[in-house]
Chains A and B, each alone.
Chain A
Amino acid sequence: MALYGLLSISDLLKPGFFYAVAAGFAVLIVVLLILIYWNLYKRKQAFFRPESFRMGFELWVSKLVLEDTQIPASRIPAKFAKHLKQRDKRQFALNSLIELKKSVAGTVGDKVVALYLELGFKADSIEKLDSPVWYKKVKGINELSVMKQEDMNARIFKLTNNRNKYIRREAQAAMFNFYGFRGLRFLNVLTHSLSDWQQLNLIEQLRPLDPEPIPGLSNWLYSDNNTVVVFALKLAEIYQCFEVHDEVVSCLTHEREEVRGQAAKTLKEIAGDATAAILCERYASETPRNKIVILNSLTAIAGDAQQPFLMKELDSGNDFLKLGAARVIVTCCTAGWGLLESKAAQQPLPFRNIYNHLRFELKR
């Protein structure tokens, strides 16, 4: 019965062992229960205790920044000075100023910054910037950026190509915040990817600024970093940079699908006389996704010259491409509706549906 000897649980492990394990679990449960209630207590304290401080501080700050006065040190009430020595209340006050700064501009914004400096919060932000912990560093950069501490630009610029994507992202946003379009110079040296999320953030940060020539744009269109090329193409699209038309056309032959797709999209906004023909030429070798992008661009720039190409595309096997081509025909070709109607008469399915669909869509 060697097998039995091998398999016998009672020989292998005694009940005492299991009771010890269960007791270990019980101890851990008790520890976790203590932690749960300790956390709940701390949260409650954090919510109620600074309530008076919060209300008082916010009231004081709003009066100060909205009144027509400077921000002198003597105006900091003693009760706040005492509270601000505590770390959590200090961070709370700093967060309040950050939120306020995000929602105001001009003189009021300048006063918020002055108060930030007056209360010594810049030192706190720098301490975070110096931290080896990535999320503290990110927070530090964010605070310095929102408070427009441009003197920190050299240190922050070095972080724009940091290997940690969150540090990199915040540093890039900070450079942008400091210098607007000129802050984009980090794109010259960026070797890491610029995610779509970051690109969108930068574009939205740019929106309030007055358009101006973007230095380095044509160089970025030839960057080895594909994401930099895509971002440059988006800038060219949004700010209608006609001067880079030829560089954008050259991106239509880029090895990356997303670069070619964005180039086709950009060309819609900076089209020249020959652009529609160029897009039609590239069409055949494109992926289905980029074909749809090209057809969308052609909707705004095609003409009668593209009619034969578009009519051929109506016979594509992909319903989306058929619909896209039909849309370009009816919007850009002189006899577009007639052409589509005769196609629908020859081949009711699916062209009668496409015809009706476009009638409804364009009527709206």
Chain B
Amino acid sequence: MNWWALILEAFAFGIFLYSIVLFAFYIFIGVFSIGETRKYIHQNRVTDYRMIASSLHAPSVSIIAPAYNEGLTIVDNVRSLLSIYYYNLEVIIVNDGSKDDSLQKLINAYQLEKVDFFVPHQIPTKDIKGVYKSRNPVLRKVVVVDKENGGKADALNVGINIAANDYIICIDVDCVLEQDAILKMVKPFMEATSERVIASGGVIRIANSSVVENGSLVKVRLPREYLPRMQTLEYIRAFLLGRMAWSRLNGLLLISGAFGAFDKEIVIECGGYNRNTVGEDMELVVRMRRYMEERKRPYKVTYIPDPLCWTEAPASYKVLGRQRNRWIRGTYETLKFHRIMFFNPRYRLLGMLSYPYWFFFELLAPVIEFLGFMAFLVMVFAGFVDWELFFALLAVVIGFNYLYSVFAVYMEVKTYNQYRRRTDIAKLLLTSMSEPFNFHPFVVWSSIRGLVDIFRNRHSWGDMAREGFDKKSS
């Protein structure tokens, strides 16, 4: 046995150990999420949300939706937000210096006029060019802010400064929300008594191929295209299993920027969204948690398993690659900003479990997978591969991947069952079969490119080309 062989053997052993721990985490997450989801479903069986929807005493909520060059869909998007069933609501659209006719379209569609508006500068932002409100009293909920381009985080901060209400819900403007989404999102904030709920997330689902009419989702369909369908499965796994389990532990580090609710007071105390990262959604949650931990204030970050928000997923490898590239850069930047928490007992579960999990199994996972693959190639060429062992290990890894996906589909069927046709479920399961050979390697490769971009100092956001939802007439 030479040194090369010894090094490769040690490396293989390291990968093996890493995989065991990762599998253990996945098993734990899968099992742990069951209880949380069941509890949520049972506790809501007798909840009457209708009573609260029209209540004058319900907490006030501001929806903040930043928009950049969304002229094609902006009017429909705002109509969708206005159809939400909640009395104490304000809808703030922040036009982040769009180069298209987004603003003019909004002005025309909603009879907007420029108004004198004093903006308390609690969080520093780029300049505001104007604030618009509707002349039509029926549309009094709508506030449109026109500002200089400063990125998504800056636009959200402007929205926070403008927001008049106690809770803010930050969304992507092209998301379609369920009618009762706000009601369900404010409930965790109102139910807490011994600890303050500082943020709450809701499940996001993929709407490609679903039918949207007048801004509302009228028919849920499994995406026809491969990539969105694969992401449907990925989102079910991530939201229904991963986030529910972390929520139960009170260890959530991420609430998706596409749909998240926050306690405005704490957001302002923390300084709002960070403009120096492409992962502003994760960074805000981590900073809010860190803020509460450092002040020893009891708090909770919750997640609800109801499918409340529908979004369009990338349908091309190019756009998907950009998205995953950005996600890994966002994760890296957030973890770097808050590295003081790494295995720091002062931050309790946050420092001892959540942060290390994200570091080892979200940030480093693509690196380790990539290095593992490279090492495998070297071993093949060097003739060190024990092929029998290799195929045995491959069977375990792929088997586990399938098991986890099938379990996620089972949880989906058992709980919210959005895809009711047996053929849809079969398609979803068949799609999962290709994941280890197609989708997953691509995601790993995009993440590696993202990490390379960090070291090459590239900070671009990357365009997200939209194809639009199906209309009812289709």
Contacts and interface: CB of A to CB of B under 8 A. Distances in A.
Contact of A200 (B57, B395, B410, B417): B57
A7 interface: yes
A35 B403 CA distance: 13
A18 B395 contact: yes
A257 to B, nearest CB: 11
A18 B410 contact: no
A105 interface: no
A9 B389 contact: yes
Contacts of B388: 15
Contacts of A238: 57
A350 B121 CA distance: 10
A216 B373 CA distance: 72
Nearest to A39: B413
A25 B396 contact: yes
A356 B190 contact: no
B191 A197 contact: yes
B414 interface: yes
B120 A319 contact: yes
Given A4-B1, A9-B16, A196-B190, A35 B393 contact: no
Interface in B339-396: 386, 388-389, 391-393, 395-396
A32 B407 CA distance: 7
Interface string A18-38: 110110011011001101110
Contacts of B409: 32, 36
The size bracket of the interface on B is: 35 or more
Contacts of A36: 406, 409-410, 413, 425, 429
Contacts, number: 147
Interface in A32-83: 32-33, 35-37, 39-40, 43
Contacts of A302: none
B392 A353 contact: no
Contact of A4 (B6, B117, B400, B417): B6
Nearest to B42: A135
B10 A40 contact: no
A100 B387 CA distance: 67
Contacts of A1: 1, 6
A125 to B, nearest CB: 12
Contacts of B393: 18
Interface in B389-424: 389, 391-393, 395-396, 399-400, 402-403, 406-407, 409-410, 413-414, 417, 420, 422
B474 interface: no
Q: Which 7 A-B pairs have the closest CB atoms?
A: A319-B120, A356-B116, A18-B392, A25-B399, A193-B193, A357-B118, A135-B42
14 contacts: A1-B1, A3-B6, A9-B12, A18-B392, A29-B399, A29-B402, A39-B413, A102-B48, A139-B46, A170-B46, A195-B190, A323-B120, A353-B116, A357-B118
Interface of A: 1, 3-4, 7-10, 15-19, 21-22, 25-26, 28-29, 32-33, 35-37, 39-40, 43, 102, 134-135, 138-139, 142, 165-166, 170, 193-197, 200-201, 203-205, 227, 234, 238, 289, 318-320, 323, 350, 353-354, 356-357, 359-360
